[in-house]
A = this chain, B = another copy of it.
């Protein structure tokens, strides 16, 4: 995957280095700098044990809604590290500010990696200094590489919205079950926009995209989506136009995260229709998408829809068999409490596609929701049984 990513809109440059947080010389620290102070917005994990960089970035963002730089590292999450960890995150922002001539509170900090370890601050500060020399308009891809942990490919994109542009990068792979916020994702734009408008548009876009994916049902301590708007296009989009643009970017990045879910070989889009309301639809869609039995059946390419029915019935204690339908693609598998007469080979074919579309119809209202997930196979186990060793 190539492209300019976060450097695509006017006014942004990035750079990444390997400073020794990860073993083996992989890129593990990046900087993103804007030419001018940017209107900024963020959504953050709802995990009670917010990592130090999440706490510090929330503080900084709440000051003015303005950011001009982001520093992010992989390898160590700086989570469950207490006052020392928060001091380390502040030191990272301070060093970036000093080097780039930006007030420290206009620098956002993000980390991803193992929980419960302190950052090797000497290496980190040295890395920040080295990265500050590498800031270029071509640095979007290496920045995306520097935030990878168990990701198998960097996630970046750029979107041309006519008079303005949007760019973005993200990391994902595991501990993916965003709740009001998400993984690390950074979105840039040269649209001219106030922080409040940007924030509203970002929240709306995140709710429909990053908050509708799951890899393993585990909500990270470090989730963060940041948006920075330089305004250098001189174009002021309407709130709706801005939201559409952010939605495109978030949809693409969140989809890349699921496609690269740890060990994933196949996507599944679970659509729930006819729930009492959207909230109920979302809960049912997540119950199906999060079911280990559904995810392992997906891995095996097995149209074992009984497991879908099981997940729906467990999530919705007052569900009724009458009026409940399960489809894969446009093939009806089950209806009204009985199996539908379908050709087994067509069902098997539909479950073996690269992207499997499952629809659950409940006939109890107008609520609709879609959740995107991936299968769960041997690789997920291997990666997570061996992650620290």
A contacts, CB < 8 Å to B = 46-50, 77, 79-85, 114-118, 174-175, 177, 179, 216-221, 290-293, 296-297, 299-300, 302, 304-307, 309-314, 316-321, 324, 334, 336-339, 376-378, 380-382, 384-389
Contacts and interface: CB of A to CB of B under 8 A. Distances in A.
21 contacts: A46-B317, A47-B314, A48-B313, A48-B320, A49-B313, A79-B309, A79-B310, A80-B321, A83-B337, A117-B339, A175-B310, A177-B314, A179-B314, A218-B310, A296-B381, A296-B385, A297-B385, A297-B387, A300-B389, A302-B387, A376-B381
A102 to B, nearest CB: 29
A285 B305 CA distance: 30
Nearest to A389: B302
A78 to B, nearest CB: 11
B304 A387 contact: yes
A114 B80 contact: no
Contacts of A116: 305-306, 309, 334, 339
User: What 10 A-B pairs come out closest when comparing CB atoms?
Assistant: A115-B306, A300-B385, A49-B313, A296-B384, A48-B319, A82-B338, A116-B306, A219-B314, A48-B313, A82-B337
Given A174-B293, A300-B389, 13 more contacts: A48-B313, A48-B318, A49-B321, A49-B324, A80-B306, A80-B338, A116-B334, A175-B307, A218-B293, A221-B309, A221-B310, A292-B380, A378-B381
Contacts of A384: 292-293, 296-297, 300
A114 B291 CA distance: 16
Contact of A81 (B219, B292, B312, B338): B338
A317 B333 CA distance: 38
Contacts of A84: 338
A309 B47 CA distance: 10
Contacts of A80: 306, 309, 321, 334, 337-339
Nearest to A305: B116
A218 B311 contact: yes
B309 A115 contact: yes
A310 B47 contact: yes
A50 B377 CA distance: 29
Nearest to A291: B218
A389 B311 CA distance: 21
B314 A115 contact: no
A33 B297 CA distance: 37
A321 B389 contact: no
